[in-house]
Chains A and B, each alone.
Chain A
Amino acid sequence: MISIMDVYQLLPKTNCKKCGFPTCMAFAVELLGKRKAIEDCPPLVEEPKYEKKLAGLRELMAPLLSTEATETGMVIHPERCYGCGNCVVACPVNVASDPKGTAIGRGPVSGKAILMVEDGVVKCVNVDQCRRFGPEKVLCNACIVTCPSKAIEFI
């Protein structure tokens, strides 16, 4: 998971306000929330002395901006997944929306589940129902801590 301090360390830290925010820390928050892009920080892109920081920031943010991750930042590593369905059964959203299926350990039956096992590996659907979705997100980690093979991570 990318820490806000890691992002901040790679910004100019001058609080120049050219991005429209009062401090670089505030910009880091926006950047991590995907509401602003790296290019919205003019000094970082234009001034050659920040070249190294810019490259570092792009590298740090690459997994977050890649299409591999869902909108909640969930990345599934299919090569590590056992397909055991622990995350499917432990997910609180699945339990609430699918009491006759995933809540009692079976495959999803209601169509509202957000995690399911397809072709032997876990798959994320209905992302907008995830607790980590949207600005009011809750940092739920039920699917990560229950995974025996570290196949799920949030970035």
Chain B
Amino acid sequence: MAFCTGCSLLCDDIEAEFEGGKVKRTMNLCRKGRAHYDSLSIDRLTPAVGGSEVRGEEAVTAAGELLAGAECPLLLGFGRSTLEAQKLGIELAKKLGSVIDDPTSRQGLIMERILKGEVPTCTFDDVRNYADVSIYWGDDPSSSHPRHLSRFSYFPRGEKRQRGYEEDREAIVIDVRRSPTATIAADGFFQVSPGGDAAFAEALLAALGGKIPKVEDKKRMLNLATKLRKAKFGAIFTGPGLADAQDGDLGWFFSLVARLNEFTRFSVIPSLPDYNTRGLHQSLFDVAGAVSPVSFEDGIASGPKFGVTGLLESFDAVLVVGSDPVANLPAPLARKLARIPMVAVGTHRNLTTDAASVTVPTAMAGLEAGGSALRSDGVRVDLEAQVKSDRPTDLQIVEMLMEVV
């Protein structure tokens, strides 16, 4: 049995056969996971400086020099690095006096509250065993985390949920479009207009308080409120559709969660994009008491103003680790980012590595290298290498950079 590091569910029941460094046959891997395994032999990154191929050590030295020579460097990514590499990456940020940020997701806003203990959370196994209501808000795990519903949140039977999804569980999807997850939820799908999440929550709060909600279909909203009031154990899965809605102001969401918790326990688990985004959030929280972006320029400070979106022009060097911000960020920001001298450390070629002046290849965690990671519900797993590789791990690269700078 092996782990899959294709998404933040870190499925642990994978069987895979390899032949000549390529994957031959897999069992229980979803399509996304299979593509992740297939990518072992596709489009791997090569060490390069200024566009010409060099030896690995030379690339690391060039990367170190670029970072050491910078006045205000920015560290991006680390979502696809092991916990050990993340912790050392934070040390590197401290040493450089730089800012560390993961721009792929704004779910950090929710995660920060969870880590502070202000929003209740639970593990996926609790969801499987006890949850009778699963709410997917701005989240489409069928596409982003394919085994989410089948492994934990809707279809499996659990300790207190022996009769399966038809009788024992309820799926509620709140989204701007009828996503594949919404198709499964069928009658439990509530469509909101883009940015209309807060208004929906307000109507739901009114319905929970026994008032008539100000929405078109009042009866349906009241039925939903009754369903939530009667729930025994609720789970709310938040996706990018929620975190990025309302321009990052999620006060309404936290009030709704608090109100729901007056009736019964409703736990929140964000569906995070990369396999160890939760690990990064935890590591940053342990050091800075906040989730990215965190600045070590002048003591420890955090807040959106320090991040890539706020301060991009003031950075004179960027280290990207296991991420593709040039593809993920909005075009104007990505264009600006691509003009800054950049070091890209990663497993595969992507838009960011193409724009980078120095590229450093690493091994794929969980496949070519071991390490530990946190699942999106915070459960720690220890990954092991399944195939041999001569590529260094993220941790080794960050260790070498620590020595050079």
Contact = CB atoms under 8 A, between A and B. Distances in A.
Contacts of B32: 82-83
Contacts of B150: 84-86, 88-90, 105
A144 to B, nearest CB: 11
Given A88-B150, A120-B35, A148-B180, A83 B29 contact: yes
Given A106-B151, A120-B26, A82 B142 contact: yes
A15 to B, nearest CB: 42
Contacts of A85: 28, 30, 146-147, 150-151
B158 interface: yes
Contacts of B151: 85, 89, 105-106
Nearest to A120: B34
Interface residues of A, number: 24
B6 to A, nearest CB: 10
A103 B159 CA distance: 11
The prevalent SS among residues of A at the interface is loop
B44 interface: no
Interface string B136-159: 000000110011011110111110
A136 B157 CA distance: 28
16 contacts: A83-B31, A83-B32, A83-B34, A86-B154, A86-B184, A90-B164, A103-B157, A106-B28, A107-B14, A117-B29, A119-B29, A119-B34, A120-B34, A121-B31, A148-B142, A148-B184
A9 interface: no
A57 to B, nearest CB: 33
A83 B156 contact: no
A59 interface: no
A120 B15 CA distance: 12
A117 B30 contact: yes
Contact of B128 (A90, A104, A116): A104
Interface residues of B, number: 34
B212 interface: no
- Chain A CB within 10 Å — which of B27, B146, B154, B155 has the most? B155
Interface of A: 81-86, 88-90, 95, 103-107, 116-121, 146, 148-149
A117 B33 CA distance: 11
Given A95-B157, A146-B184, A148-B183, A84 B30 contact: yes
A101 to B, nearest CB: 8
Given A89-B150, A107-B15, A82 B155 contact: no
Interface of B: 13-15, 25-35, 128, 142-143, 146-147, 149-152, 154-158, 164-165, 180-181, 183-184
A105 B31 contact: no
B155 A107 contact: no
A138 to B, nearest CB: 15
Nearest to B12: A106
B129 to A, nearest CB: 9
A120 B29 CA distance: 5
Nearest to A105: B156
A106 B9 CA distance: 12
Contact of B27 (A86, A89, A105, A117): A117
Contacts of A104: 128, 156-158
Given A86-B154, A120-B26, A120-B29, 15 more contacts: A83-B31, A83-B32, A84-B147, A84-B149, A88-B150, A89-B151, A104-B156, A104-B157, A107-B14, A118-B25, A118-B27, A119-B29, A120-B33, A120-B34, A146-B184
A86 B28 CA distance: 12
Contacts of B142: 82, 84, 148-149
Contacts of B155: 86, 89-90, 105, 146
A108 to B, nearest CB: 8
B143 A82 contact: yes
Contact of A107 (B13, B165, B180, B184): B13
Contacts of A119: 25-26, 29, 34
B9 to A, nearest CB: 11
Contacts of A86: 149-150, 154-155, 184
A104 B164 CA distance: 10
Given A105-B128, A116-B27, A148-B183, A89 B156 contact: yes
A89 B98 CA distance: 47
Contacts of B164: 90, 95
B155 to A, nearest CB: 4
Nearest to A107: B28
A95 to B, nearest CB: 7
Nearest to B183: A148
A149 B147 CA distance: 14
A107 B31 contact: no
A117 B31 CA distance: 9
B27 A107 contact: yes
